[in-house]
Amino acid sequence: MRALVAGGAGFIGSHLIDALIAEGHDVVCVDNYFIGTRENVKHLAGNSHFKMYEQDLADFGVVNKIFKAEQVDYVFHLAANSDIQASAGNPAIEYHNTYSTTFSLLEAMRLNGVKKLFFASTSAVYGEQMGREVSEEAVALKPISYYGGCKLGSEAIISSYAYMNDMSVLVFRFPNVIGPRLTHGVIFDFVNRLREDPSHLRILGDGRQSKPYLYALDLIDAIMRFKDVKKGVTLYNVGVETQSSVTRIAEIVCEKMGLSGIPFEYTGGRGGWKGDVPVFAYNLDKIHAAGWTASMTSDEAVEKTVEMVL
């Protein structure tokens, strides 16, 4: 197939491109390097199965021209603002990069007869709800960040385009993803702070924020396995059953850096920042029943990622 990967110069998108090319597909990547990097796709330069467009996906005119030129038959939509803290003070970042990119891509799909879509959604659409009741069937979706709101808005408009245009759509809602090519987040912050000053470690919140961390290559495995879906929208929560607390992540970083007895200084409060969901876990029964489970626990994914960052 000829696939368009929107946001393909990003952390997850670049791994997806590698997997698609390894499976024998041609890939057209569109990314404006808003957060993604040239470094992530550098190894693909000169590969006849790869083509790069440096363009803003919120610009429908540009997107439509790419669709007309490239005749793709599957769109993998991973473009978004992935820096949730940054958009807390400027919601327009989400409207442009997370919501409008979805609209442009859907409209170009409609006008060019493209029927297959993968959408990278997020556990942030559930907001602060957690536990067994947070399955794909949960009716009350209450995002608390602008990012989560624009992802949920994207899911809504995808649902209508799928119905109106007989599209086959796979939506994955996943939590924090870590692994090779990661560029920001709590692991980076801790490593950088300790490199600058190993006398103590400042930790946002009370350290008990606890979330599942999914290894990037586990996620890619699930996308590749489930990408051929029937007509309509197929939705899965994708993640790991276990969680890692912020304090546990700090301990793992210290262990791997060979530092012991470092005092942890907590800024206090439940969450790291407003819009952060401090404790999260959700129901993964559906994807497990479909035959997929992550190969690594949350702590294992943290350990492996810390080793790569160091």
Catalytically annotated residues: 147
Residue from 4, 58, 220, 233 that binds ligand NAD (CB under 6 A)? 58
Which region among 75-83, 163-171, 264-272, 279-287 touches ligand NAD (by CB under 6 A)? 75-83
Our finding on whether 36 is near ligand NAD (CB under 6 A) is: yes
List binders of ligand NAD among 89-108 (CB under 6 A).
Answer: 97, 101
Our finding on whether 276 is near ligand NAD (CB under 6 A) is: no
Which three-class secondary structure string do you get for the chain?
CEEEEECCCCHHHHHHHHHHHHCCCEEEEECCCCCCCHHHHHHHCCCCCEEEECCCCCCHHHHHHHHHHHCCCEEEECCCCCCHHHHCCCCHHHHHHHHHHHHHHHHHHHHHCCCEEEEEEEHHHHCCCCECCCCCCCCCCCCCCHHHHHHHHHHHHHHHHHHHHCCEEEEEEECEEECCCCCCCHHHHHHHHHHHCCCCEEECECCCCEECEEEHHHHHHHHHHHCCCCCEEEEEECCCCCCEEHHHHHHHHHHHCCCCCCCEEECECCCCCCCCCCECCECCHHHHHCCCCCCCCHHHHHHHHHHHHC
Our finding on whether 229 is near ligand NAD (CB under 6 A) is: no
CB of 197 to ligand NAD, least distance (A): 27
Which region among 56-64, 197-205, 226-234, 265-273 touches ligand NAD (by CB under 6 A)? 56-64
Our finding on whether 282 is near ligand NAD (CB under 6 A) is: no
Our finding on whether 150 is near ligand NAD (CB under 6 A) is: no
Our finding on whether 118 is near ligand NAD (CB under 6 A) is: no
Our finding on whether 73 is near ligand NAD (CB under 6 A) is: no
Residue from 67, 118, 174, 190 that binds ligand NAD (CB under 6 A)? 174
Residue closer to ligand NAD (CB basis): 58 or 114: 58
Our finding on whether 301 is near ligand NAD (CB under 6 A) is: no
Q: Where do contacts with ligand NAD occur on this chain (CB under 6 A)?
A: 7, 9-13, 31-36, 56-58, 78-80, 82, 97, 101, 120, 122, 174, 176-177
